[in-house]
Structure 1
Amino acid sequence: MHHQPENNEMTAPRELEILKTAYNAAPVGLGILNRELRFVMVNERLAEIHGVPAGEHIGKSPGEIMPSFAGKIEVMARTAIETGEPVYDAVITGADTSCPEDLRVWDVQMTPLREEDGRIDIVSVAIEDITGIQRREKALRQSEARFRTLAETTPQLVWTAGPDGEVDYYNERCKDYRGIFRTPEGRYEWSPVLHEEDVRPTVEAWRHAVMTGEIYQIEHRVQLADGTYHWHLSRGYPVRDEHGRIEKWFGTATDIESVKQAEEKIRKTNAELEHKVDERTRVLARAVDRLEEQSEVLRSIVDNIPVMLAFYDSNGNISFANREMERLLGWSQEEMREMDLEAAMFPDPVYRREVREHMMEAKPGWRDLNMMTRSGDMLQASWFSVRLSDGSQIGIGIDVGRRKKMEQDLLRLAKAIEQTGEGIGIFSPEGEVIYVNPAYERLSGYRRDEFVGKKADELTDYFAGSDYRSIIRQVGEEGRQWSGVQKRRKKTGELIDIHMTISPVHSEAGEIINFISVIRDITGEIKLREQLSQNQKLEAIGTLAGGIAHDLKNILTPIVLNTEIAMMDLEDGHPARMLLDEIMQAARMGVDLTNQIVTFSRRNLQEKKPVRIETVVRDSVDFLRSVLPSTITIRHRIDARGAVVMADPTQIKQVMINLGSNAGHAMREKGGVLDVALTRETLDAKAASEISPDLCAGLYVRIEVKDTGTGMDARTLQRIFEPFFTTKRKGEGTGMGLSVVHGIVKDHKGAVTVRSWVGKGTIFTVLLPVER
C-alpha cells in the first residue's frame, strides 16, 4: 500500500505548486540563472520589470533582456556562483528598455543554490524596482534580517495559517507588536495583541472566512511594542489546490493609523463646515430679515456720527450732507439741498475746482481744506473720499481745528518741559525710564540715552541707595502724589540732596499708565538752612551771654573797687592782705571773662578804621613764634596785595592769636606745622551764600590757619563755636576762644569756616571784606 499523506501534509508537487503560486504572486521580480548565465525561470513581476514577457526570458542572457543592467547583473551572478556567497541589497542604475532616456533603479540580490554534491549550478536572482519608491520617499522598509522568502521582504506584518485557520507563521515584524507570542506547543497566540473591544469582531470575521473560504478583511486596533494602539487593515487570502480546497492562508496587516486620523480630521472638518454653513445660512437669513431695519440704523449712524459725510453724484455735485456737516457749517440740510453748497464753502473758484478734482479722484490719503461757514468763519477740516461702485463718491471730513490747537498746546508744553529749570522724568508703571528733560541731565550729570530704557535697579549708583522702587510701588498702590527729600549721586560722584515729587498719570479708564518725577537740587538750600540755624543759635546764645555778662560786670565792679580800697587801707604784712589778693585776682579774671562774652555777643562795639591786613597778620605770626613751643614749625604766606579792611586791629590780632593758640594746643604733644596764609579772593553771590547766608558778594581777604594736630570729629565741629564748649581738660581754657573769634568776624561782616580730619589736622578760614 502507498502511504497516504495526512491532511496537514502536502505532496511535493503541491508544495511546488504553492511555491510557484507564491513565486509568481511575489511583488519582487524573481528569476533563476544557470551556470552559463541563462534564465531558466522568471516570475511575472520580473517580466514586468524588464518589460519582456516571461516566456521570452527562458534561455536568454541578461544582456539580451536588459542590456543597460547586464554588465552589473552578470558580474554579481558570477561572483555568487564562484564564491558561493550571496549578494544582498546591491543598488544598480540603468536605462529603461522601452524608454532609454528614463533611468531605473533596482535593488538586486543574488543567492547561489547548491546541489546535493555541493556544486553550484544555478543562482537565484531577486530584483525590486525601487525607482518609484525612492521618488515617493519609500513608505515601506525592509526588516533588519531579510528572510529568503517573499514574506521577509515586505514592511508589513505577514502571517500564514493552515486551512483550519490556526496561524503557523509571523514574519520579523511581529517584534514590533505586544501580545503575539508562541506557545510551548508551537502555536501562535495573537488575540492579546488586539484591543479588547476588537477581539470578538475579529475572531468572528476570521472564523467566518475560514468556514466560507471568503477573503478575510477587517479593521481593528493592534497594540504596538510601546503599548500604544494603531488601527490596522488586516487581509487574508486563501491558496487553493486543484480541487478548490484551501491549503494555506496568506495574510498581511497594514498600519492605517494615519489614514484613520486623517479620516477623523476630515469628519470633524466636514462637521464644522456643515455647522458653519448652517450658521452662515441662518446669519444670511437674519441679515435679509433685518436689512430694512439696518437701513434705518444706517441712516441714524450717518446723521449722528461725529464726522462730516457728503455724498457726491457721478457729476461731482453734492447730493446729501449729514447733520454733523449741518452743525459745523451752519446751513440746514434743506438749505444745503437747494443751494450751491460747494460755491458757499469754497468761494474762490480756483480753489473750488482743486477741491472738486481731489474729491472726484478719490485717491488714498487725507487733505486739509479751509471751508467757509455760514457765519463767515473758516473751518479747518481734513477730507478723504471713497468711490462707490455706481460711480458716485462719499466724502468724509473731520474738524481738525481743535486737533491742531491741541498739537500746538502739546508743542508748547514740550518746549516748556525742555526749558524748565527743574528735572522732569517720565517712568513706566514698571519703573523704566521713558524720558528725562535737559534739566534732569544737568542735575544728574548723565546723558538722556544713559537713562532711557533702564530701570531703577540698573541705576544704583545714581539713586545712591534710595529705595526708589518702593516709592513707585507706594504711589501705584495709593494712586496719590509723593514728595520728599532724597540723596542722589551725580555721574561725577558728588552726593547731592534733591526734593522729589512723584505723581501718577491716569488713563481715561483710571489705570496708571506713567509716573512723572520732578526733582530739584536743594543741596545749597540745606546747607544755608543749617548755617542759618547755627547762626541763629549762636545769636541766641550771644544775646543770652551778653545779658549775663552785663549782670556779672555789675556784680564784679563793686567787688574790684571795694577790694582795691580795702588793700589800700591795709599794711603789706597784714594777715588779710593775702586773702584780698586772691579776691582781686579772681575778680579780675571774672572781668576778663565778661569782656570776652561781650565781645562774642558783639555788644562791645569798637571803632573800626582802615587797616592794612598784611601788617596785622605779620604781627600776629611774630607773636605766635614767641609763645608756641619750638616743636611747632610756623610757616606763612602773606600776599594780600596791599588789601585794606575796615577793622579793629586789636580784635583781628585776638582772632589770629586765638586760632594760633588752639592750633598749638592740638599739636602740643607731638609737635607739627602751623601754616598761615593770607590771600585775596572774589566771591559771587552763589559762592558767598554757600559759605554763609549773611555773606555778600564781593572782594575778600582770606586768612587760612592750618595745623597738623589731632583734628576733630563731626560732632565736635557742630558745637565748636558755642560759648563755654571746649575739648580741653579742666583748667586749660574757658571755651570762649572760638566763640570770640566767631563774634569778632561776624561783627566785621565776614565769615569763619572750619574743616577738620581726625588724626590729620584742622583748617580755619576767615573771610573779611576788602575796603575799596
Structure 2
Amino acid sequence: MGIVNGSVMNIDLSKIIDFAALQKLMESLYKATGINHALIDNNSNVLTAVGWQPLCTDFHRVNPKTCDRCLVSDRYILEHLNDGPYVGYECPNGLVDYCTPVIIGGEHVANIFTGQMFHEPPDLAFFQRQAKTFGFEEEAYLNAVAKVKIIPRERMPDVMAFLAGLAGMVGEMGLLHLKQLNVEKELERTVASRTEELLESEAKFESLFQNSPDPTWLMNEQNLFELCNEAAARILEYDSTDALYLTDPADLSPEFQPDGRKSVEVAAEMIALAYEKGVHRFEWTHRRKSGECFPVEVTLSRLASSNKKGLYCIWRDITERKQAEEKLQYSEQRFRDVSDAAGEYLWEIDANMVYTYVSERSVEVKGYRPDELVGHTPMEFMPEEDIRSVGAIVNKSIAGKTAFKLQHRDITKSGETLWEEVNGVPVYDSSGNVIGLRGTGLNITERKETEEKLRKLSQAIENAGSSIIITDKDGVIEYANPAFTQMTGYSFEEAVGQTPRLLKSGNQNKTFYAAMWASISRGEIWQGKVIDRKKDGSFFPAMLSIAPIADESGEITHFVGSHADLSDLKYMEEQFHQSQKMEAIGTLVGGIAHDFNNMIAGITGNIYLAKKAAKEIPEVQERLINIEKLSFRSADLIKQLLTFARKDTVRMSIFSLTSFIKEAFKLIHSSTPENIELQLNAGGDELLVKGDATQLQQVLMNLINNARDAVERVENPRIMVKVETFHCDAQFIKKHTLFTQGDYAHICVTDNGCGVPERQKDHLFEPFFTTKEQGKGTGLGLAMVFGAVKTHHGFVDVDSIEGLGSTFHVYLPLLEDKRPGKALQQAVPSSQRGSGELILLVDDEEHLLDVTREVLEELGYQVITASNGSEAIDLFTAYQHKVALIMMDVVMPKIGGVKAAEVIRKLNPAIKIIFSTGYDKAANISKEELRGSVVLSKPYDVDDLSALIKDMFDS
C-alpha cells in the first residue's frame, strides 16, 4: 500500500497529514486575515475547512439551478489545475473561487480551495435579481451576501502564493510522513521478524540488523560500538562497518550542538536519561566523515539483558522534515510580513490580559519595543476613560470564546494619543479551554481624523444656508442638501438621478450653457447669475458657482454646485433704487420749499391787506378769499411733498374719519366734472383715527383725481367712495402678511375706468411711474398716497382688471375708545389787535419783510426791520429796552436767526422770540436753542399770527 506499491491514491491521508494541527493553523489564519479554505481529497471528502460562506452552502449549493452553476465552476477549476501553481474562477453565481493542488510523491491527492469572496463591493441589484430568479428569501440571502469577505484582487497573488506554498509543504510533509510510516511499518515488521529470528538464530538477527534501512548500532557500557549496520556506515560516509567500529562515537558529532552546548556533555546527559528511563528520544546533530553536519532523531533504548549493560540506538535522518519545518516557519513569517505590510503588529496575551508576545512592528505603532510591552497589560497604555469599555469587550470574548474587533485610544511612548483598531481571537489549550488571545493592532489615527473631517464637512454641507448639489461627471445629481429642497421645492429623492436641467427656466440660451459646460470641463470654476425655476413653476434669481472635483490623477469625476437665492438681494436693490428716488425728490422739494413758502407768505400777507382795503366791495372780497384759499392749498401741497420725502413733521391728532371724509368730499365734489357720477357711502358710525388731516385730505384727493383720469374716456363714468369698518382676521393675514389682527377704517375708491395691466400693478406706487400720456401725470400722486398711508401705520392695496376698472383700498388702524381732540372742534379766533408794542421783524426776503411789517402795523403794533441776523443784533442792542418781541426768520445770510438769538439772549434772556421759517434743513431747532420761543411756519394765517403774538404777550 502507498508509496511502497508505487501509489498514494489509496492511502488514508490522515495517517500522513496532521489534519487537526492544519485545521488550527488555518483557523488562526482565517481569524487574523479573513482568508478561508477547504482541503478536499479527490473523493470529495472535506479534510479541513474554515470560513465557508452560508451564501454558498445554504443557498447556491442547495438550489438545483444555482448548484449546476457551482458545478460548472468546480469543473473549470479541476480542468485547469495544471495551468499554473493555482487557478481562479468567478462563479456565475457571483462569487470568486481559487484552488491549488496538493501533490504527494508526484501524485495529485487533494486540493486546497479558498474563495467564496468578492474582489469588489457586491452589486446588490444583481443579487436581488438572483434572489427573485431562484426563489431565495431576499433578506436572508442579502444578509448572507453581506457576510462575504471583500479581498482586493491585488492581494490574491500573495494569498495564493502562501496557500500554494502551504500545499507544497503539506505534500512534502505527507511524503516524508508516508516514507516514515512505511519505514516504521517496515521497521516494525523487521524488528518483529528479527526478534523472532534472534530467538532462533543469532545469524538471522545479524542479518536483520545489518539490513535495517535506519542507521542502528549497539553500544556497550563504555559507550563504544559493539555493532553497527551498513545504513549507519553508508549515511556517515564510512567504507564499512569495520571502519565505523574503529571510530570514537564522539567523532560522529560536531564539537557543539545547535544550542551551543558541547556535544560530549549533551551526549552524556542523553545516555544517562536513557539508562534512567529505559527509552529516550531526542534530536541530535551528526557529522559525516566529510565534515557535513545533518539533523537526526535518535531513540536510545536500554538493553533488557540482565548480565550485560548497554544501549540500542536507532536514528533517522530528519533533514527533509527540518526543511519542511523551515518552510512552515518561512510561511508563518510571510504571514507576519503581510501583516506588517498592512501596517499591523501581532500580539498575544494570556488569560490575565498580560502580553506574552508582541511583534517588532509595535515600535512603529506604539513607540514601545516588544520587550517593553511583554509582561504588561494593554490597559496600562490606554487613557482611563477607555479602559473599562475595552476590558468589557475582551472579557466577553474570553468568556464567549468569540472573536472581537474594537477601536480605542493608546498613549504612545512619546506621550501622544493615537487611535488603534484591534482584532483578536481566542487561543485554546488541548482541552478546548481559552488560555489567551492573539490578534493584530493597527494605527488608525489618520483614518479617524479623516473621518472626523468628513463628518464636519458633511455636517457643514447639510446645514449650509446655500443650496449645494454634487453631480457625476455627466451632470447626474448624486447629492442635494436640505437647502436645495427649501430653495427649489424638489425633495432629495426627486433630485437624485436627475440633472440640473430640472431647474431650467428658459431665461438662459444654449450658448450660455455651452460656455458654462466648456469652462467647468476644463477644470475651471464657473460663477455667474442665473434665473432658475422652482418645482412650483415660479422663477427666482440665483448666484450659481460650479467647481470640478478631480481624482488623484487629475481626471474630473464630479462637480459641486452652490446656489445662493438672490431674491432678497434683488428686493433690497429695488428698495435702494426707491430710496434714491425718494432722496432725489427730497432734494428737489427741500431746495424749493423755503423760497416757495416765502413767496406764498408774501402773497397771503398782501391778500390780507387787500381784504382790509376792499372790505366794502363784496365781489373783490370773494375773489381775494378764493385766492387766499388757493395760496394755502399750494402751501399744503408743498407740505405734502415734504412729508412724502420725509422732510417735514407730521402733526397727528385724534378725529372722526367719517366726518372728516364727508367734509373733504364736499370740497372735492365741487371740483369734479359734472358728467362723472361721484358717490359717497360713509355710513353712520364715527370711525376714530389718529392722523394728519392735511395728509389724509390729500390721500383722498389724489385717489379721486386718479379715478377721474381713469374714467375720462368711459361713456358713463362712475366713482364710488366708501368708508366702513374692516376686521382683519387670521385668514386675511395669511394672504396679506403685513397686516396685524384688529379693526381698521377701510376707505375704498372704486371706478369703472380703463383699469391697470397686470404687469404694471407692482409699479403703481413708485415715484414718477405713470400710465398716463405725457403731460397728464407726474407719477407722484399714488406714491404720495402710499407714503402718507404708511406714515399712519396703514396699508394700501389695489384690485384692478384692465378694461373694467379699479378699486383702491386704504386701511387705517382704528382707535378703540377715544374722542376727537379739541384741535378740530374749536373755531379759529378772529384777529386780535395790539396796543402799540414794538416788534423787531427780521427777514432776508425784502418783499416779505415789507408785507409782514404792514400786516403787523395794521394789527396795531410798532415795527422796526432788519434784513439779516447781524442787523438784528445791532438794532436790538440799540432798542433793547423798547423791543417787546422779535419775529425772526431762521435761514438768513451772514448770521442766521438761531445764532442771532443766542447773542440777543445774552443781552436780554427773557426776550420773546417767534422763529418764522419756510422749509430748510437748518430749521430743525433743538429745545435748547428754542428756550421758550416758538416756531411759526410760512405761510401763516394772519389770525393765527395775531393770536400767537397775543398769547406770548399774555404769558
| TM-score, normalised by the number of residues in structure 1 | 0.47
